[in-house]
Amino acid sequence: MTSVLYQQIQQLYDKSSGLWEQIWGEHMHHGYYGPNGTLKKERRQAQIDLIEEFLNWGRASVNPELNPEFNSKSNGFPQILDVGCGIGGSTLYLAEKFMAEATGITLSPVQANRARERAIAAGLQQQVNFQVADALQMPLADHSFDLVWSMESGEHMPNKIQFLQECYRVLKPGGLFLMATWCHRPVGEAEGQLTDAERQHLAEIYRVYALPYVISLPEYDAIARKTGFKLIQTADWSTAVAPFWNVVIDSTFQLESLLGLLLSGWTTVEAALSLGLMSRGYQAGLIRFGLLRGIKSARL
């Protein structure tokens, strides 16, 4: 089952990444529209703002003097891993921002090749490398990275526990893990379980976007604690990013985008036609944009 899923993910991004870059640029993730989701922004700027806001949130209250678990100098990150790197948008941005060495991994050979091309164009080829690799079995050494960054890749992982364990394994003692991922609403006695209609809605999203399943943010919190992360913090930024999907819908059905869709094949066309699934999911409170921060203990 995992091999079939990985093939579906690879094919989805092999076929759609070129069109996405043409229309939206190098950052293959949500945009940030202010805490209340009301700020009007140019779409690519909103995506860069999400990176910066996510970084600021992730490093907030992580003072090396007050929190000895966090040991990166001046909150810098000499060694960075981008899990689910796409065509290298975040990888290159972070490498340049922190003057760091960065590694990006993806299941898509098309994405990895394009990321390498973009690194050369940016003059960062000596600082970064991109690999086709499975995030559940990363071909990377233990204790290698000061920052492990996962921007909207957790939803693709068929085993969330193993995913967080792998991120913990390759993180240096005292290093920082930052994850932003699609979730569903919390469930439990107070919130109630998912309804049949909600499960059907999620199933359609899974099918179209090659996802095995998503979980709630409290479930991620519990996994992170069991894995061993310290100073864990979570946040729900659904309101801040939800406008992204309506912007994508508007841009998708412009003439230039439509021509690109027709050339990208049915998988990409179906994903475009299904954008409303995400927009309606946010509106209903079913889909959530979850953030998680954790530190690997400096005392192993």
Please determine, for residue 268, whether its predicted confidence score (pLDDT) is greater than 70.
no
| Predicted local confidence at residue 179, as pLDDT | 98
Decide if 201 contacts 214 (C-beta within 8 A): no
Q: Are strands 145-151 and 171-184 parallel, antiparallel or unpaired?
A: parallel
Close Cβ partners of 43 (under 8 Å, ≥ 6 residues apart): 24, 31, 247, 251
Instruction: Report the b/e string of 155-194 with b at 16+ CB within 10 A.
Output: bbbeebeebbebbbbbbbebbbbbbbbbbbbbeeeeeeeb
Average pLDDT over residues 28-45: 95
Task: List, in order of start, the domains of the chain with CATH numbers.
Answer: 2-295 (3.40.50.150)
Reduced to 3 DSSP states, what percent helix, strand and coil does the chain have, rounded to the nearest 5?
50, 20, 35
Average pLDDT taken over every residue of the chain: 90
CA distances from 155 to 217, 228, 254 (A): 11, 21, 28
- Round to whole Å and give the CA distance between 129 and 29: 20
Average pLDDT over residues 151-174: 97
| Predicted local confidence at residue 151, as pLDDT | 98
pLDDT tens for residues 174-188? 999 999 999 999 999
Lowest mean pLDDT among 23-32, 57-66, 75-84: 57-66
| Predicted local confidence at residue 33, as pLDDT | 97
Close Cβ partners of 126 (under 8 Å, ≥ 6 residues apart): none
| Predicted local confidence at residue 298, as pLDDT | 78
* pLDDT level of residue 27 (50, 70, 90 thresholds): very high
Question: To which H or E segment does residue 178 belong?
Answer: strand 171-184
- Round to whole Å and give the CA distance between 125 and 284: 44
Q: Are strands 287-295 and 171-184 parallel, antiparallel or unpaired?
A: antiparallel
Decide if 178 contacts 94 (C-beta within 8 A): no
Please determine, for residue 67, whether its predicted confidence score (pLDDT) is greater than 90.
no
Give the other-Cβ count within 10 Å of 206's Cβ. Answer: 15
Lowest mean pLDDT among 69-73, 179-183, 216-220: 69-73
| Predicted local confidence at residue 248, as pLDDT | 81
Using a cut of 0.95, tell me whether the model's pTM lies above it. Answer: no
Q: What value, to the nearest 5°, has the Cα angle with vertex 236 and ends 194 and 225?
A: 85
- Distance, CA of 4 to chain centre: 21
- Round to whole Å and give the CA distance between 57 and 73: 18
The percent of residues above 90 in pLDDT, for the chain, comes to 74
Tell me which DSSP letter residue 179 carries. Answer: E
- Round to whole Å and give the CA distance between 31 and 46: 4
pLDDT tens for residues 220-255? 999 999 999 999 999 999 999 999 988 887 776 665
